[in-house]
Structure 1
């Protein structure tokens, strides 16, 4: 269920409320990576503390634990609400962190692919310089294969071939019997 920012402000302390406000959409994208990691750690600590308190209060309500304060707890709605708000904040921050990691990974992959392409192209240029130097005493130039290497594992190819043979045998036995 959606919780309004007004309800968040009512259920949280002022410091927690400021942390949760930074986890909402426009503000979270303006944080740099170091601040995001720091905020994630702070919100996780607050959430864990609220979770511990909520579990303790639940045990008190059920009569499984002694009261922590002077009077036993009558209800734990506020603590459960706080826990829910902090958990949603954690989900938003974890999502943003994962999004940034994925984006960084894609950028790294593109950079690595460009570097590999540059290495491959420079290797071809070096090989092609001595194009007319084919002599018997120096050996022949290697001619690259134009066939593509199959990406299917040989074991997988064999498994599929065997499965097709078994299926064909079943069909043949059904038609011979009927």
Structure 2
């Protein structure tokens, strides 16, 4: 269950409220990872102290143990709210730490992936450029024979003239035969 800031201010001590205040929305995003870890440790310690007090007060209420220390403020309800406020603050800090860790891991992964993509693109460009140039064979040419025709390195497709348009003409002829079947 969430605890409002007004309830936090009423239930927590000034030092605890300052700690919890750092875990709220605008303030938590301005804290770096080391400070977040330090805040996490402090909040854990405070929550553990309050949890111990709550458990002791409950044991006293059940008659299982003697009163500990001086006087314990109020009944068990206020320390339970205090513990809840500290636990919620700790949850917010944990989530923010996890978000920061994921962001750092993602940025490192993105940088690594980007480098790999750039390398792959350069290799592909180099292969493409190399594929455009065919090595010339020097065995065809003899020196001092004058000008000689340079053999083309392009692949030539030779289609005989009789074949050009023959497919479409064959289709026309076949259709004409089908059309004239029942007429004669």
TM-score past 0.5 threshold: yes
| Equivalent-residue separation in structure 2 for 1:48 and 1:65 (angstroms) | 19
Higher radius of gyration, 1 or 2: 2
Structure 1 gap segments, 5+ residues each: 136-178
Point out the more displaced range, 35-44 or 80-89.
Answer: 35-44
More helix by share: 1
| Equivalent-residue separation in structure 2 for 1:122 and 1:103 (angstroms) | 28
| Equivalent-residue separation in structure 2 for 1:86 and 1:134 (angstroms) | 79
Higher relative contact order (CA 8 A, sep 6+): 2
Structure 2 gap segments, 5+ residues each: 138-184
Taking structure 1 as the reference length, what is the TM-score of the superposition? 0.65
Aligned position for 1:113: 113
Distance 1:16 1:106, change over 3 A: same
**8 Å Cα contact 1:47-1:83 kept in structure 2:** yes
SS at match of 2:67: coil
Taking structure 2 as the reference length, what is the TM-score of the superposition? 0.63
**8 Å Cα contact 1:50-1:79 kept in structure 2:** yes
Deviations 1:137-156 (A, max 9, x none): xxxxxxxxxxxxxxxxxxxx
Aligned position for 1:91: 91
| CA-based RMSD | 2.6
Aligned length, in residue pairs: 135
Q: Which runs of 4+ in 1 moved over 6 A?
A: 71-74
Deviations 1:102-137 (A, max 9, x none): 2222222211110111222333345556543599xx
